[in-house]
Amino acid sequence: MELIDAIKGRRSIREYKPDPVPREMIKDILEAGNWAPSAKNGHQWRFTVLTGDSKNRYNEMFRDTLNMFIQKQGRDEAGSAPWTLEVMQEAPVVIIVWNTNDNGWISEEQSVAAAIQNICLRAHDLGLGSLWIGDVFYAYPETRAYFGKEWKLSGAITLGYAASEGKVPKKKSLDEVAEFLE
Euclidean distance between CA atoms 151 and 98, whole angstroms = 6
Does position 89 interact with ligand FMN (CB under 6 A)? The reply is no
Segment near ligand FMN (CB under 6 A), from 30-38, 52-60, 67-75, 128-136? 128-136
From the list 16-24, 55-63, 95-103, 133-141, the region that binds ligand FMN by CB under 6 A is 133-141
**The one-letter amino acid at 176:** E
CB of 18 to ligand FMN, least distance (A): 19
Candidate residues 133, 153, 157, 159; the one interacting with ligand FMN per rule CB under 6 A = 133
Helix (H, G, I), strand (E, B) or coil at 149: coil
Host H or E run for residue 173: none
DSSP secondary structure of 78-122:
GTTHHHHHHHHHHSSEEEEEEE--SS--HHHHHHHHHHHHHHHHH
- Residue 177 C-beta: closest distance to ligand FMN, Å: 14
Asked if 12 is part of the footprint of ligand FMN (rule: CB under 6 A), the reply reads yes
Contact 128, 160 (CB under 8 A): yes
Q: Output phi, psi for 97, to 5 deg.
A: -115, 130
Per rule CB under 6 A, is residue 131 in the interface with ligand FMN? yes
- Binder of ligand FMN out of 38, 44, 84, 100 (CB under 6 A): 84
Q: How far is the CB of 24 from ligand FMN (least distance, A)?
A: 26
Give the nearer residue to ligand FMN in terms of CB position, either 177 or 181.
Answer: 177
Q: Order of strands, edge to edge, in the sheet holding 93-99? A: 45-50, 93-99, 152-160, 129-133
SS3 47: strand
Residues of span 18-77 touching ligand FMN by CB under 6 A: none
Binding residues for ligand FMN, total number by CB under 6 A: 12
Residues at the interface with ligand FMN (CB under 6 A) = 11-12, 14, 80, 84, 131-135, 166, 169
